[in-house]
Amino acid sequence: MINRRKFLKLAGSGAITLISSAAIPSQTKSFALSTQTTHTQVEADLIINIRSQPGQVPIFSGPKTNVWKYSAEVLAGDPSSITDMGDESYLGPIIRAKKGQRIRIQFQNDLPARSIIHWHGLHVPADMDGHPRLAVPAGGQYTYEFQVQDRAGTYWYHPHPHGRTGYQVYGGMAGLFLVSDKREEDLNLPSGNYEVPLVIQDRTFDSDNQLVYLPGGMMSRMTGMMGDSILVNGIPDFRLDVSTRVYRLRLLNGSNARAYKLAWSDGTPLTIIGTDGGFLSRPLKKSSVMLGPGERLDVWADFSKNVVGDILHLVSQSFTDGVSGMMGGRHMGRGMMGRKQNLLNGTKLNIMNVRVIKKENESRKLPQQLVQEGSITPNDTLNPDTPRKFELSMFHMHGLINGKSFEMTAVADDEIVEAGTSEIWEFKNTNQRMGMMGMQVPHPMHLHGAHFRILERSGVSLDSYMDEGWKDTVLLMPGERIRLLVRFGQHPGLFLYHCHNLEHGDAGMMRNYLIENKSSTTNRFQVT
Ligand code: C2O
Ligand code: CU
Ligand code: CU
């Protein structure tokens, strides 16, 4: 196990001395658990400045769109650790790191609002996780120091200030965090121009090309923000030009609330090689795959059978999310400017066009074994027969988990777990009647500080879940119940579990749980 103590040290505000992008920590240094009142400095392999600030991007012709955007620069370490998404995109740069790397990220919040960055899917110490209690004010700073301990995979970063996460992410604040490792290198997957990050989001724009957030008032808070335009990497009508060969597509559903039922328009199955927490043990073919907000997919896309001139579409097929009936068909919550109707969750959509433009010969084969891993079963958990149960509901304008809304630092007695252990957790999306105040809606549940496997679903209404592999976010449609085998990280402290429908999280469908480390005398939890 990687131990953060091995690489952090207390130091003055001097220059960084050790920089080596490939190094795995070998030196032992003592450190004090950093708080933001002491200035700690990492002996880091990678040092990055990230700034969040208002900006303008040319999304459409005509007026530029006002956005909030992350920008970054590498201060020390491999300069290719950051890839800008371009001036036309509001997305933050892609951060690339290697497993084992020690990273220091200096966050400068130049938004006119409180904010904090969360590293979605990464196991980091509790005070490095971007918990809302750590949000810094406009003009404030926060320094992150952590070692990348997760497997190669598609992770991401976004703000997490309580009550404002949906607004800030919608405004443009999100980016990918790609981790690589030795195993990934050995797999020799398509890379460079053949490895394509695809962040799928929906947005509503007014006639001046400006973002419209929650135009439908209370109802759109309940469903979450559903935009009427689909953007990929911040670009509407996204087109990918490809050669007749294999591509690796790394998909993130970065939407606030919309789920997608992804499929190729020509009926070719999707070949899935990875999910939230990295590679599956072996590739999986599915005719369509649900991707809820926050979830990721690593896709092997083989265009070698295509010919130049072919056009394919990545689409989202229609599905029923349980809300449409109540919404009175397709006409409620219409867009503010009357441009288009607000598209309900489950509406059939085009996500992007793929145009085959070049002939290339390639003899790449899909690896049959991606990663090797020992099996883990319910009997390896602390509670094989007595799952911890969580009921999800919306009531009045509050999101509830077991009847409780988010409290900034509170943890209930049944929200305490032990570091490094595994438990069965069960989430239930209550199928309550749609009265005036209650409502059935999908809930994509997400855990910080832990990864999980999906053991079983019941009450299932859809056939296109991809429930293999290690996950950190899982979609529950109304009436569904899901059993997870959760493996908690080694870092003690307060971590969140919440609905990744960002409007639901902001409405309180979020709680803390506490990871305790009983075997350690020094790591007892303290609220900082
Ligand atoms: Cu991606 Cu707590 O969030
Ligand atoms: Cu997260
Ligand atoms: Cu929800």
User: Average pLDDT of 327-331?
Assistant: 41
Q: Cα–Cα distance between 497 and 489 in angstroms, integer? A: 14
Q: How far is the CA of 155 from the centre of ligand 2 (A)?
A: 9
Q: Taking ligand 3, which is a single-atom ion, which protein residues have CB atoms under 5 Å away?
A: 443, 499, 501, 504
Cβ of 162 below 6 Å from ligand 1: no
Q: Are 404 and 267 within one domain?
A: no
**CATH code where residue 419 lies:** 2.60.40.420
Q: Are 214 and 263 within one domain?
A: yes
Q: Cα–Cα distance between 115 and 134 in angstroms, integer? A: 8
Q: Are 340 and 420 within one domain?
A: no
Q: Domain range spanning residue 242? A: 192-358
Higher pLDDT, 436 or 190: 190
Neighbours of 236 (CB within 10 A): 12
pLDDT band at 25 (very low <50, low <70, confident <90, very high): very low
Q: Cα–Cα distance between 427 and 432 in angstroms, integer? A: 15
Residue 7 is assigned to a structural domain of this protein: no
Q: How far is the CA of 235 from the centre of ligand 2 (A)?
A: 24
Residue 524 is assigned to a structural domain of this protein: no
Beta-strand relationship, 94-98 and 175-180: parallel
Q: How far is the CA of 213 from the centre of ligand 3 (A)?
A: 18
Q: Cα–Cα distance between 168 and 211 in angstroms, integer? A: 12
Which pLDDT score, from 0 to 100, does residue 43 have?
A: 84
Which pLDDT score, from 0 to 100, does residue 132 have?
A: 98
Q: Are 129 and 243 within one domain?
A: no
Q: Are 163 and 206 within one domain?
A: no
Residue 522 is assigned to a structural domain of this protein: no
Q: Cα–Cα distance between 346 and 519 in angstroms, integer? A: 47
Q: What is the pTM of this model?
A: 0.89
Question: Which segment of 142-151, 174-183, 272-281, 342-351 scores lowest on mean pLDDT?
Answer: 342-351
**Atom of ligand 1 lying closest to residue 158 CA:** 1
> Tens digits of per-residue pLDDT, 415-434?
999 999 999 999 999 866 55
Q: How far is the CA of 500 from the centre of ligand 1 (A)?
A: 6
Check whether 448 has a pLDDT greater than 90: yes
Q: Are 50 and 163 within one domain?
A: yes
First and final C-alpha spacing in the chain = 25
Check whether 525 has a pLDDT greater than 90: no
Question: Which segment of 27-41, 48-62, 417-431 scores lowest on mean pLDDT?
Answer: 27-41
Question: Which segment of 63-77, 328-342, 413-427 scores lowest on mean pLDDT?
Answer: 328-342
User: Average pLDDT of 469-489?
Assistant: 97
Q: Whose CA is nearest to atom 1 of ligand 1?
A: 120
Residue 8 is assigned to a structural domain of this protein: no
Fill in the DSSP letter of residue 209. Answer: S
- Please name the residues in contact with 376: beta carbons below 8 A apart, sequence gap of 6 or more: 422, 453, 485, 487
Q: Are 237 and 302 within one domain?
A: yes
Q: Are 52 and 139 within one domain?
A: yes
Inter-residue contact 283 to 271 (CB < 8 Å): yes
In percent, how much of the chain has pLDDT > 70?
85
Which pLDDT score, from 0 to 100, does residue 3 have?
A: 37
Q: Cα–Cα distance between 50 and 422 in angstroms, integer? A: 34
Coil/strand/helix, residue 175: strand
Residue 230 is assigned to a structural domain of this protein: yes
Q: Are 222 and 338 within one domain?
A: yes
Q: Are 429 and 449 within one domain?
A: yes
Residue 328 is assigned to a structural domain of this protein: yes
Number of domains in the chain: 3
Residue 370 is assigned to a structural domain of this protein: no
Q: Are 352 and 485 within one domain?
A: no
The amino acid present at 205, given as its one-letter code, is: F
Cβ of 446 below 6 Å from ligand 1: yes
Residue 371 is assigned to a structural domain of this protein: no
Q: Are 112 and 136 within one domain?
A: yes
Instruction: Decide which of 182, 204, 228 is a domain's last residue.
Output: 182
